[in-house]
Chains A and B, each alone.
Chain A
């Protein structure tokens, strides 16, 4: 149980285009999902907290107009990188909190490798 999937696992896009990454909780409902960014050989940095049915909460320094987050259902959150640039290339990881479990339980997806050329 408690499986989180991400799609795609890898994506290459051209500079200036937009790319959407999906995060799904497969066997539980998640009112809250988190989006992280990880640079090579570095830690995970929280980008935003995604709440089902409401606007996402972005961390300081994260451009909300560039990283659009939509959490339209209890099992799906999407991150859209708009007008992507090479500096947006990174490993994006989502996590989901099971609504039926304690607040500290958080399950991570396998990550999406984004390369902008």
Chain B
């Protein structure tokens, strides 16, 4: 079984500042890693995913994440945030050989302030 930990429930940041949202996972097998964004009362939108290969993954809206196998982490970063980035961010993991079932972290509320 796998699990995902998002240590920060809320992250306030000023506009144009950099941000990092932390994600750690636990699994006994190889995994795929994902970051999703959820705006209020909406479904989830995929930001980026790590499947294999380069550990630095670039996604939409200027976000990127780095897979660190030794630290079992997949932190999400953006060098300069915008007000429109205010949303809930979920890290998720699925086993590479499994039925594509996703296990989600508890989410991080990113609040961008002027």
Contacting residues, chain A, for B100 (C-beta < 8 A): 32, 97, 103-104, 106
Q: How many interface residues does B have (CB within 8 Å)?
A: 22
CB distance A93 to B102 under 8 Å? no
CB distance A49 to B32 under 8 Å? no
On whether A93 and B44 interact (CB within 8 A), knowing A43-B90, A104-B94, the answer reads yes
Stretch from B15-23, B69-77, B103-111 contacting the other chain: B103-111
Q: Is the interface of B mostly helix, strand, loop or mixed?
A: loop
Interface flag for A67 (CB, 8 Å): no
Contacting residues, chain A, for B106 (C-beta < 8 A): 42-43
Determine which of B32, B49, B99, B105 lies in contact with A43 in the assembled complex, contact meaning CB atoms within 8 Å: B105
**Cβ distance B80 to chain A, nearest Cβ, rounded Å:** 27
Q: Mark A73-117, 1 if CB is under 8 A from B, else 0.
A: 000000000000000000101010100000110101111010000
CB distance A46 to B90 under 8 Å? no
The 3 closest A-B pairs by CB, nearest first: A108-B43, A108-B44, A110-B43
